[in-house]
Amino acid sequence: MDAAQADSQAKPVSIDRLLKIAGPDMAGVDTMIRDRMQSPVAVIPALAEHLIGGSAKRLRPLLTVAAARLTGASDAACHNLAAAVEFIHTATLLHDDVVDSSELRRGKVAAHLIWGAPSSVLVGDFLFARAFELMVETGSMAALEILARASRVIAEGEVLQLTRAHDLDLDQAVYLEIIKAKTAELFAAAAESGGVCAGASPEQAAALRRYGQELGLAFQLVDDALDYSGTSETLGKNPGDDFREGKATLPLILAIERTGAQERDFWMRTVDARDQTEADFERARTLVEDSGALEATLKAAAGYAEGAKSALAHFPAGEWRSALADLADFAVARRA
């Protein structure tokens, strides 16, 4: 056992406590989600059920609910906002999978391979619009503003990734900009809007935003690491997807930086020209591990998780604060 493993085992790496105290709220959110994904047009609920119904972790709406409770929400007022957050997330997944031609999502065949890319695009649009209908129901223009802005920033991040992420010269700064927009923005908006919906002060709202943003960065970095270190059984998708798509994520960027001199031909062929054989991913995985790129990525993630936890200091100690601290630790310690 190395030091990093010992360290992660010493921390509470489970979100059981959070899932338990948020259970009643999440049941309400789940009911809301299932109710609002209905439509007289049969393909819509069928496709939505495929993606939303099963194994979804519902991390983002969980964040909305927990932020509302941490802020002192005493009723169920933010469930429709939490459902809206999940719908925005699901819409972006549907469009993402079309854009990336992904084959697996949440352990299942990607929706566009079953219903076709056009249906995925249009059901994504349906869910996105439905999210705004749900937000209108909350009556909070401030929450609506946060999530409208987040939706726009996410789209900008997606386009930036599309146009830059296969670039062998992509640097860490642009990579960080992409994941801030693509992933961390919705985490930040989910937490901030949950707080705002429950009457957070501007300072509390800003702290929740920072918590969500750093948590989102930690989650994304660990996802990117797992794409080189995980297995398809635990991940619910194929490891190596990013590499095969030539997607420049931090583990790859660092590995290229560190091994570029000796391995230039390998990276040029496999990433730049995307001319790969089956065996290439194993070699890339070895280079990512042996160069320390994987460890450095996980270390960066741990740094963001610590940043997320420190943002919680703006709130009084209590079960919700502890549970959200667990979530930050879990983001780094998880293996799937």
Residues of the shown chain interacting with a second copy in the complex, contacts defined by CB under 8 A: 39-44, 91-92, 95, 98-99, 117-119, 121-123, 125-126, 128-130, 132-133, 135-136, 139, 141, 144-145, 148-149, 151-152, 154-156, 158-160, 162-163
Closest approach of Cβ 51 to a second copy, in Å?
A: 15
Closest approach of Cβ 157 to a second copy, in Å?
A: 8
| Residue number with CB closer to a second copy (99 or 168) | 99
| Residue number with CB closer to a second copy (154 or 301) | 154
| Residue number with CB closer to a second copy (54 or 118) | 118
Nearest to 315 by CA among 73, 21, 34: 73
Closest approach of Cβ 132 to a second copy, in Å?
A: 4
Closest approach of Cβ 279 to a second copy, in Å?
A: 29
- How far is the C-alpha of 156 from the C-alpha of 187, rounded, in Å? 16
Taking CA 146 as the corner, what is the angle to CA 144 and CA 148, rounded to the nearest 5 degrees? 65
| Residue number with CB closer to a second copy (182 or 210) | 182
Closest approach of Cβ 156 to a second copy, in Å?
A: 5
| Residue number with CB closer to a second copy (4 or 162) | 162
Closest approach of Cβ 113 to a second copy, in Å?
A: 16
| Residue number with CB closer to a second copy (81 or 311) | 81
| Residue number with CB closer to a second copy (15 or 150) | 150
Closest approach of Cβ 195 to a second copy, in Å?
A: 18
Question: Quick one: three-class SS letters along the chain?
Answer: CCHHHHHHHHCCCCCHHHHHHCHHHHHHHHHHHHHHCCCCCCHHHHHHHHHHHCCCCCHHHHHHHHHHHHHCCCCCCCHHHHHHHHHHHHHHHHHHHHHHCCCEECCEECHHHHHCHHHHHHHHHHHHHHHHHHHHHHCCHHHHHHHHHHHHHHHHHHHHHHHHCCCCCCCHHHHHHHHHHHHHHHHHHHHHHHHHHCCCCHHHHHHHHHHHHHHHHHHHHHHHHHHHHCCHHHHCCCCCHHHHCCCCCHHHHHHHHHHHHHHHHHHHHHHHCCCCCCCHHHHHHHHHHHCCHHHHHHHHHHHHHHHHHHHHHHCCCCHHHHHHHHHHHHHHHCCC
| Residue number with CB closer to a second copy (123 or 328) | 123
Closest approach of Cβ 186 to a second copy, in Å?
A: 12
